[in-house]
Amino acid sequence: MLEPNKASRLPTTGIRRDRRKFYLILGVLVLLLPILFIYCLCVGKYPVTPGESLRILYGVATGATRDWTPLTESVVVGLRLPRILASMMVGGSLAISGATYQGIFKNPLVSPDFLGVSAGASIGAASAILLSLSATYIQLFAFCGGLVAVIATVTIPRLMRSESHIMLVLSGIIVGGLMSSIMGYIRYVADPTSQLAAITYWTMGSFSYIRMEAMLPILPVILIPLLLLLRLSWWIDILSLGEQEAKSLGANVQGTRYLAVACATLLTASSVCISGTIGWVGLVIPHFGRMLVGPSNPRLLPIAFLIGAIFLLVVDTVTRTITTAEMPISILTGLIGAPFYALLLYRQRKRLQ
Amino acid sequence: MQKALALLLSLVLLTTSVLPVLAANTNATPTASTVLVNGALVAFDAYNIGGNNYFKLRDLAFVLSGSVKQFGVDFDAATNSIMLVVGESYTPVGNEMTAPGETAKVAVPTASQVILAESQETDASVVIISLLDLVAYNIDGYNYFGLRSVGEALNFAVEWNEAANAISLDTSRGYGEDATLVTESPTSPDTSPREMMTVIDMLGREVEVYKDTQSVAFAWGGAGSLVFAVSGHDLISAGNLAAFGNFLRYVHPPIADIGFVGRGSVDLEAIATQKPDLYIARGTELEGIEGVTKLGIPAIALFAENEEDVIQAITLLGVALNREEQATAALAEFHAVLDRARALVADIPAEERVSAILMGSSPGRIAHGEQMQSKMIENAGGISIVAAHPELTSAAAWVDAGIEQIFAWDPDVIFLTTTASYVEELLQDPAWANLKAMQNGKVLLVPSQMDSWEFPGITTCLGVLWMVHTMYPDKLSREEFDAAVVDFYRAIFRTDVNPDLLGY
């Protein structure tokens, strides 16, 4: 009698402990994010005290009388605020879309970069720059480029009637190679004095110039897929049980899969629209999240979003404050991301086997 | 899906393929310059289109008839082609030398087939030498041809005397031949080895170059303006004209057809085929210089990163291309403009000096203190803010100081690189509206769209003068500045320009 009792109790306490741990981590992150947000709003090269930054933010929100210079307000509200919001949005979006791709394709190597989304979006943007189109079109093209790339990557294994992970990896290499060639061609024909610099700006991720007006139209394209993914997360778990089991549990396997991939792609493409390509976040942060709260997507996705947002916010603030000249953000994400990924793989080596 | 991919690919390829420049009707004004033929004044019915003069072939044949460069004109209605017969005396048809037009006309670009031929002394038959590619416009039913391209084809000298506002045709000399350098027997084939001389290029290399270099090639976009300032278009046989190409094509349309030897880095096979007398390399093109030298083509290296470089490069080109006089003249103009700029601002007291920065290809990216663009601000009497920040200086050009840093400086004037694609966004951004420069209307693109004055080159001096005009308008009015621009282009490039044309 003792044996079955023990057996049934142990997992239950395990689940409880997991849940407690999840809520604890969630709580810490949810608290940390606004603290960092305010801290980052208070630092920068323009001389403005933290107290004044906060008063300006409060004053602008409530419409209180202004006793600060208009230029100071411009710096806090017009430069720092959009930049901070953008880095949080992009970091969170890349992380949650990376987690989604990894869950859907059941492949720990997959990331937004890997599926060619970022490269495709850059090509879209670069084509629009070549055509001398306006900023709105550049974003639209970036978006379509990202979609085309991910569709190509996902379609190649299907054309070869293969569901294997290796095939998806190879497909990613094929599409990635093609994309870099097209990008190389665009750079080759671009006018070196004008267009090339703008194209480079897109491919080298940067938050150095974020305008609130440019970000607002993209916001719904980020928020809607974000909420959809959080709702879908339970079904992504079900899919990971395998097609037969998922169907027997009432899941619309194909529908869920397509919807989740579409949402993740929208998030990545929107991120590229805001900041250009930023590597490593979409790959490493989901793994870090899994290390903290386990592989269950309903827990992983919100955690990944929060960690991604915090990570990129901190990294961007470091790039704009640590040196006299601003450092390209991809240098830091790579410097932190690559060794960290190695460490994660080392710790997860048993699970991967 | 595959369709979508194909569509994207084709879109990408389509957008990147070169679009032909569509010829458009333009305005032709009666030529205001006097025309001298072998020293004698002749009134031609000629037009000035975009700075170049266009003449009727029959008028030229009529006037040159009897000279050593005489030629006959035959029109073949069947093939709709014009044949110019070298050496033949011209038979007038009666409509030559009509009175010069007095009003501006509409000129329509035409594609006339013009054949250059030679009459045989033995049986009076005609042998075709070549098909000419002459720039031509139709005005009121008559075809007018670019004088320089006709001179080049028939090998008579065409010169522009700025002081006298006169065009002179000289049949005693060949096209492009300098008056002081008349060769004794231009027709006899030269079999003796060509004379060489040693020059020291800007990498400090000793290079053997031809004493009479006839053709130069370059893959570096920055070389075009320097070579052109020293030798005009007639030595450029192949090159990457880059941004400056728009201007060169305007000054001398046939330049669009010059050969290609690479973009940025040299295409060795292409240059081996074309065999120019001299390859002009950027100082950083070390592998290219080695490759070209191995092909037996002399290669000299230039730098043009700052004012001193430009002066040195032009002096070197003057020696290497045997155009020292032109190089000296070009530099004299260059220094004259810079001296004028410095003199204009010399007596401005320190407290009235305007602070400025120059922003590059993206917002927040600026020219650092040691960079030429910042020195231009200083030369123009401005305070280069970055000069006080040596920590931003690096070996490379441009530094990402960050937008917030620019807000912290809040300069009086913000210059933007000519090609700044973000200017519209910036001007509409409410966050920027509170900057001093924005409120003073002093966030300005450096002119000009056709020939950027903040890129290192001979026209950099105009950039400095323009900065004087924008920072201290009471020292140099817009009219005075415009006049200086026209004078400079006339002196260096022998062409008339205006603000609309250059784009400023």
Give the tens place of pLDDT for each residue, B365-389: 999 999 999 999 999 999 999 999 9
Residue B18 lies inside a defined structural domain of this protein: yes
Which chain B residue shows the shortest CA-CA distance from A196?
A: B361
Q: How far is A79 from chain B (nearest CA, A)?
A: 7
Residues B91 and B11 in one domain: yes
Residues B200 and B240 in one domain: yes
Residues B31 and B165 in one domain: yes
Q: Residue B286, CB half-sphere, CA atoms under 13 Å: how many?
A: 3
Residues B147 and B215 in one domain: no
Neighbours of A15 (CB within 10 A): 10
Helix A2-42 with A81-104: angle, nearest 10 deg:
150
| Sequence-ordered strand ranges (E) for B46-141 | 47-49, 52-55, 71-76, 81-86, 105-110, 113-119, 126-132, 136-139
Q: Is B195 left (phi over 0), alpha (psi -120 to 50) or beta?
A: beta
Residues B142 and B219 in one domain: no
Choose from A83, A180, A324 for mutation: most chain B CBs within 10 A: A324
On average, the pLDDT of chain B sits at 86
DSSP code of residue B68: T
Enumerate residues 6+ apart whose C-beta is below 8 A from B184: none
User: pLDDT at position B115, please?
Assistant: 85
Q: How far is A208 from chain B (nearest CA, A)?
A: 7
Helical (H) or strand (E) element with B323: none
| Residues on chain B touching A71 (C-beta within 8 angstroms) | 407, 410, 434-435
Neighbours of A137 (CB within 10 A): 16
User: pLDDT at position A11, please?
Assistant: 52
Contact B228, B304 (CB under 8 A): no
Model confidence at B312, pLDDT cuts 50, 70, 90, reads: very high
Sign, CA dihedral A213-A215-A218-A220, equals: negative
- CA pair distance B485, B337, nearest whole angstrom: 10
Residues B443 and B390 in one domain: yes
Residue B34 has pLDDT above 60, yes or no: yes
Structure ipTM: 0.84
Q: Residue B490, CB half-sphere, CA atoms under 13 Å: how many?
A: 18
User: pLDDT at position A29, please?
Assistant: 96
User: pLDDT at position B15, please?
Assistant: 44
Closest CA to A117 of A90, A94, A89: A94
Helical (H) or strand (E) element with A138: helix A135-159
Residue B12 lies inside a defined structural domain of this protein: yes
Structural domain count of chain B: 3
Residue B86 has pLDDT above 80, yes or no: yes
Q: How far is A252 from chain B (nearest CA, A)?
A: 22
Query: What's the predicted TM-score (pTM) here?
Result: 0.72
List the structure tokens of A55.
């008063």
Q: Which residues constitute the domain of residue B51?
A: 2-170
Cβ contact, residue pair A79, B403, below 8 Å: yes
User: pLDDT at position B299, please?
Assistant: 96
Residues pairing with B366 in the sheet: B359, B399
Residue B333 lies inside a defined structural domain of this protein: no
- CA pair distance B1, A24, nearest whole angstrom: 45
Residues B59 and B135 in one domain: yes
Q: Which of A271-280, A303-312, B4-13 has maximum average pLDDT?
A: A303-312
Q: What is the CATH number of the domain that holds B419?
A: 3.40.50.1980
User: pLDDT at position A193, please?
Assistant: 66
Residue A352 has pLDDT above 50, yes or no: yes
Cβ contact, residue pair B1, A155, below 8 Å: yes
- CA pair distance A282, A111, nearest whole angstrom: 5
- CA pair distance A151, A201, nearest whole angstrom: 25
Higher model confidence: residue B64 or residue A16? B64
Cβ contact, residue pair A148, B408, below 8 Å: no
Per-residue pLDDT tens digits for A84-138: 999 999 999 999 999 999 988 887 778 887 788 888 988 998 898 888 887 778 8
pLDDT (mean) for B121-130: 71
Per-residue pLDDT tens digits for B323-351: 999 999 999 999 999 999 999 999 999 99
Which chain B residue shows the shortest CA-CA distance from A131?
A: B15
Choose from A79, A80, A156, A216 for mutation: most chain B CBs within 10 A: A79
pLDDT (mean) for B61-77: 84
Model confidence at B2, pLDDT cuts 50, 70, 90, reads: very low
Q: How far is B255 from chain A (nearest CA, A)?
A: 19
Residues B228 and B308 in one domain: yes
Enumerate residues 6+ apart whose C-beta is below 8 A from A18: A293, A294
Tokens 């209605």 correspond to B77
Domain definitions of chain A by residue range:
73-352
Residues B307 and B359 in one domain: no
> Which CATH class, in words, describes the domain spanning A73-352?
mainly alpha
DSSP code of residue B83: E
Q: How far is B144 from chain A (nearest CA, A)?
A: 34
Cβ contact, residue pair B404, A78, below 8 Å: no
Residues B96 and B29 in one domain: yes
User: pLDDT at position B182, please?
Assistant: 38
Closest CA to B414 of B434, B391, B390, B441: B441
**Nearest by CB to B404, which of A45, A151, A201?**
A45
Residues B9 and B143 in one domain: yes
Contact B301, B289 (CB under 8 A): yes
Residues B209 and B298 in one domain: yes
Tokens 């030398």 correspond to B97
List the structure tokens of B271.
């240059």
Enumerate residues 6+ apart whose C-beta is below 8 A from A188: B263
Choose from A74, A132, A174, A332 for mutation: most chain B CBs within 10 A: A74
